[in-house]
Amino acid sequence: MALLLLNNLILAFLLFFCIMAPKVSSHNRAYAAPSVARLTDLFGHVSVDQGFSTFFGGSNVKRINNGSMATLALDKSSGSGLVSRNKYYHGFFSAAIKLPSGLSSGVVLAFYLSNADSYPHNHDEIDIELLGHDKRNDWVLQTNIYANGGVSTGREEKFYFWFDPTAQHHYYSIIWNSHHIVFLVDNVPLREFPNTGAFSSVYPSKPMSVYVTIWDGSQWATHGGKYPVNYKYAPFVASLAEMEMAGCVLSNSASAPASCSKGSASSLDPVDGQQFTTLSKQQVAALDWSRRKLMFYSYCKDTTRFKVMPPECK
């Protein structure tokens, strides 16, 4: 009788734990990613000290490994962020990021390009936004693009991961040139936004800085604050490594990006070669895989938000 009672108590405890423990989604663990070219191997790494200044939350920014890496933290007092020392016109931008583990609802880690400081009323932006999940111990990835201040008509798409982004560093990358914008994770393309000329007013066209920030996005990212950041689990710490910023650097004394001039081979746009201006067959197949398997929201299917779909959706 005592043994039976003990077994019942153990079963009751396990059932209670399963009900009360944060649910971990399984949809981002089921797939093996397709093989693709490793574009992140083509450019050198830029140390955090070399390439970035503190944007905000100075005490929550920690430079480590002699400034080659950094951690960014969000706590009850502040988030934190870095901004590139240079502005770029086109380029390949990448960071190896390890996200905070544990209950992460409302936490937002953003790796993005923006020129809001120079063009406050008509700025451009290219965003990778890593969002702590609303209900589960999980993360999702959102991409967004807008130009000339069109925040209200942002072009968001959301994806699940096929790995645990809190277990180790993974590459998050952006290609931006006059041909297209491509978002990649571990070199796998998730989204391509071509510049066909048909909707040039919504294609980012002005030099931008590179930002990495962590902040409380409860009101924005969790249905108006339905699942706010739980600071009981703070600080939320993200790790950054292997930063890459290869682009045309804007001259401080000129309105045009001087390093993009055609004066010599070494001054050509570093992402103007064929492997950056078009996707290979292998990359096209990987793009199709990621959109079929991982994408769960696209603005082009949001008929509630858009009564008339943006032109590139047609």
pLDDT in tens, 196-208: 877 778 899 999 9
| Structural domain contains residue 76 | yes
| Structural domain contains residue 12 | no
pLDDT at 27 over 80: no
Query: Using CA atoms, how far apart are residues 43 and 236, in angstroms rounded to an integer?
Result: 30
Cα distances from 181 to residues 52, 144, 200, 300, in angstroms, run 23, 11, 13, 17
Query: Using CA atoms, how far apart are residues 272 and 178, in angstroms rounded to an integer?
Result: 8
| Structural domain contains residue 267 | no
| 157 counts as catalytic | no
What single letter denotes the amino acid at residue 278? T
Would you state the pLDDT for residue 23? 42
Contact (Cβ atoms closer than 8 angstroms) between residue 137 and residue 22: yes
Query: Using CA atoms, how far apart are residues 242 and 268, in angstroms rounded to an integer?
Result: 23
| Structural domain contains residue 94 | yes
Would you state the pLDDT for residue 279? 97
Percent of the chain with pLDDT over 90: 66
Contact (Cβ atoms closer than 8 angstroms) between residue 217 and residue 210: no
The total domain count for the chain is 1
pLDDT in tens, 120-174: 989 999 999 999 976 666 899 999 998 988 666 689 999 999 999 999 999 999 9
| Structural domain contains residue 3 | no
| 244 counts as catalytic | no
Buried b / exposed e across 74-88, counting CB within 10 Å, b at 16+?
A: bbeebbbbbbbebbb
What single letter denotes the amino acid at residue 55? F
Contact (Cβ atoms closer than 8 angstroms) between residue 229 and residue 74: yes
Query: Using CA atoms, how far apart are residues 112 and 221, in angstroms rounded to an integer?
Result: 16
pLDDT in tens, 285-303: 999 999 999 999 999 999 9
Contact (Cβ atoms closer than 8 angstroms) between residue 222 and residue 191: no
Q: Which domain holds residue 233?
A: 27-250+278-313
| Structural domain contains residue 180 | yes
Confidence of residue 219 (pLDDT cuts 50, 70, 90): confident
pLDDT at 264 over 50: no
pLDDT at 9 over 60: no
- For residues 256 and 177, the model is more confident at 177
* Strand-pair category, 180-185 with 80-84: unpaired
| Structural domain contains residue 6 | no
Helix (H) or strand (E) holding 248: strand 236-249
Q: What share of the chain is helix, strand, coil (3-state, %, to 5)?
A: 25, 35, 45
Would you state the pLDDT for residue 26? 43
- CATH of residue 234's domain is 2.60.120.200
pLDDT in tens, 35-67: 999 999 999 999 999 999 999 999 999 999 999
Query: Using CA atoms, how far apart are residues 142 and 154, in angstroms rounded to an integer?
Result: 11
pLDDT at 118 over 80: yes
Confidence of residue 80 (pLDDT cuts 50, 70, 90): very high
| Structural domain contains residue 257 | no
Catalytic residue among 125, 157, 192, 244: 125
pLDDT at 220 over 50: yes
